[in-house]
Amino acid sequence: MEEKISQIQKDYLEKIQKAKTLKELDEIFLELFGKNGAVDQLSKQFSTLSQDQLKIIGPTFNQVKQQLEEGINEKRTNIREESYKRLSEENLTLQPSRLKARKGHLHPVTQFEQEIVKLFKNLGFVEADAPHIDTDYNNFEVLNIPENHPARDLWDTFYISSKFQVPSSKLLLRTHTSNSQIRILKDNTPPIRMMNLGRCFRFENVDARHEHTFEQFEIVYVDKGVSMAHLQYLSEYFFKGTLGQDIKARLRPKYYPFVEPGVGVDASCVFCKGKGCKVCGQTGFLELAGAGMIHPDVLKAGGIDPNIYSGIAWGVGPGRMVMLREGIEDIRLFNSGDLSFLEKY
Ligand code: PHE
């Protein structure tokens, strides 16, 4: 037994001497004094000793235990002091960061939108607000698109779960900025020149030309004597201001339930200037906007007498315009958060 004790004493004093880090010391401490450690193991064997043997070994054992414990403590202090000394001798100079602060900029679609808002501000249009989450009534019903009407198929819609509905109306994510029309008509008296801009949402099969989240821009113009001639003028004003002075507008009959007559608004092709090329499918024109004379029912619902006033609603997709202008082929890039794409603009 005595031999065992002096063996432990020798081995561990040596280990303690050699230890270089606090972590090593912690491990040694555990080996010695932890549960089932060397000390524990030894004391378990004491039951086999006689009283006389115990009287001799006990004090030796305690002495060695104390010596080892003190050895560890002392070594701990040494290691700490040394590392403090090293730190204080070390010359630490902090360098100012070499990383250049990253400068952001507006999204290409936002840049374009600011441009067109300015264009129409110049004609006296002011911005109106409309929510992204709106009632079925504002987005569809009041626009002559009742429930179950086939025209609903023109807009693939995200309806909001009935769990979150307020009792009086069904809610959805607006499918177009035309949800602003009824608000604009109700809240204002003619002459009205307003525009609404922002996100719209559709339950699309997403591909290079279709996104579930995209932007629209829409104007509402109501006054006495507003006619298709104004619509032609405003369309051309928009195309000349955004695509170039040589661009012409062409109106084609097109069905939208909330306008009558309704038109698809084409711009002469920016690539071939109307001669016919691959991009425009040899037609010389690109369909870019939707518009029409505001339907009398919609004017009436907005509290405006269609026998006195007439109006134009006119909408365009800013994303589509930017794609055309910049030669961007995949609409999904806009919302991708891909900096290598965004930084080009
Ligand atoms: N809201 C229509 C759409 O999203 C576009 C449009 C706007 C048509 C205004 C007519 C008048 O397809």
Question: Phi/psi at 300 (nearest 5 deg)?
Answer: -60, -45
Residue 103: its pLDDT value, please?
A: 81
Residue 162: its pLDDT value, please?
A: 80
Residue 50: its pLDDT value, please?
A: 87
The architecture (CATH level 2) of 108-342 comes to 2-Layer Sandwich (3.30)
Q: Which of 91-100, 152-161, 322-331 has the highest mean pLDDT?
A: 322-331
pLDDT, tens only, 18-58: 999 999 999 999 999 988 888 888 888 888 888 888 888 88
pLDDT over 90, % of the chain: 74
Residue 4: its pLDDT value, please?
A: 87
DSSP state of 284: S
Query: Nearest-CA neighbor of 218 among 267, 169, 185?
Result: 185
**Closest ligand 1 atom to Cα of 263:** 10
Tell me, using a 6 A CB cutoff, whether residue 316 lines ligand 1.
Answer: no
Which residues are part of the catalytic machinery? 155, 176, 202, 216, 259, 313
Tell me, using a 6 A CB cutoff, whether residue 315 lines ligand 1.
Answer: yes
Residue nearest to atom 7 of ligand 1 (CA): 315
Residue nearest to atom 4 of ligand 1 (CA): 176
Total residues found in the chain within this entry: 345
- Among 12-16, 163-167, 193-197, the range scoring the smallest mean pLDDT is 163-167
Query: Does the pLDDT value for residue 133 go beyond 90?
Result: yes
pLDDT, tens only, 72-87: 999 999 999 998 888 8
pLDDT, tens only, 172-200: 999 999 999 999 999 999 999 999 999 99
Q: How remote is the CA of residue 185 from the centroid of ligand 1, in Å?
A: 16
Angle at 177 between CA 171 and CA 183, to 5 degrees: 75
Q: How remote is the CA of residue 278 from the centroid of ligand 1, in Å?
A: 26
Element holding 262 (H helix, E strand): strand 259-268
Q: How remote is the CA of residue 291 from the centroid of ligand 1, in Å?
A: 6
Mutation pick for ligand 1 pocket among 142, 143, 178 (CB with most ligand atoms within 8 Å): 178
Q: Where are the beta strands (DSSP E) in 62-136?
A: 126-127, 133-135
Judge residue 212's burial from the number of C-beta atoms within 10 Å of its C-beta, 0-12 exposed, 13-18 middle, 19 or more buried. Answer: middle
Tell me, using a 6 A CB cutoff, whether residue 291 lines ligand 1.
Answer: yes
Q: Domain segments of the chain: what residues?
A: 2-89, 108-342
Residue 134: its pLDDT value, please?
A: 95
Mutation pick for ligand 1 pocket among 157, 200, 204, 218 (CB with most ligand atoms within 8 Å): 218
Q: What count of other Cβ atoms lies within 10 Å of the Cβ of residue 211?
A: 21
Residue 152: its pLDDT value, please?
A: 87
DSSP state of 96: P
Q: How remote is the CA of residue 106 from the centroid of ligand 1, in Å?
A: 26
Query: Does the pLDDT value for residue 100 go beyond 80?
Result: no
CB 225 within 8 A of CB 310: yes
Mean pLDDT of 315-332: 95
Structure token digits, residue 65: 């235990």
Q: How remote is the CA of residue 339 from the centroid of ligand 1, in Å?
A: 32
Tell me, using a 6 A CB cutoff, whether residue 71 lines ligand 1.
Answer: no
Q: How remote is the CA of residue 11 from the centroid of ligand 1, in Å?
A: 88
Query: Does the pLDDT value for residue 101 go beyond 90?
Result: no
Tell me, using a 6 A CB cutoff, whether residue 176 lines ligand 1.
Answer: yes
User: What is the pTM (predicted TM-score) of this model?
Assistant: 0.71
Residue nearest to atom 3 of ligand 1 (CA): 176
- Among 19-28, 94-103, 271-280, 313-322, the range scoring the smallest mean pLDDT is 94-103
Residue 279: its pLDDT value, please?
A: 87
CB 314 within 8 A of CB 218: yes
Residue 240: its pLDDT value, please?
A: 97
User: Per-residue b/e over 312-338, b at no fewer than 16 CB within 10 Å?
Assistant: bbbbbbbbbbbbbeeebeebebbeeee
Structure token digits, residue 342: 């965004």
Residue nearest to atom 10 of ligand 1 (CA): 291
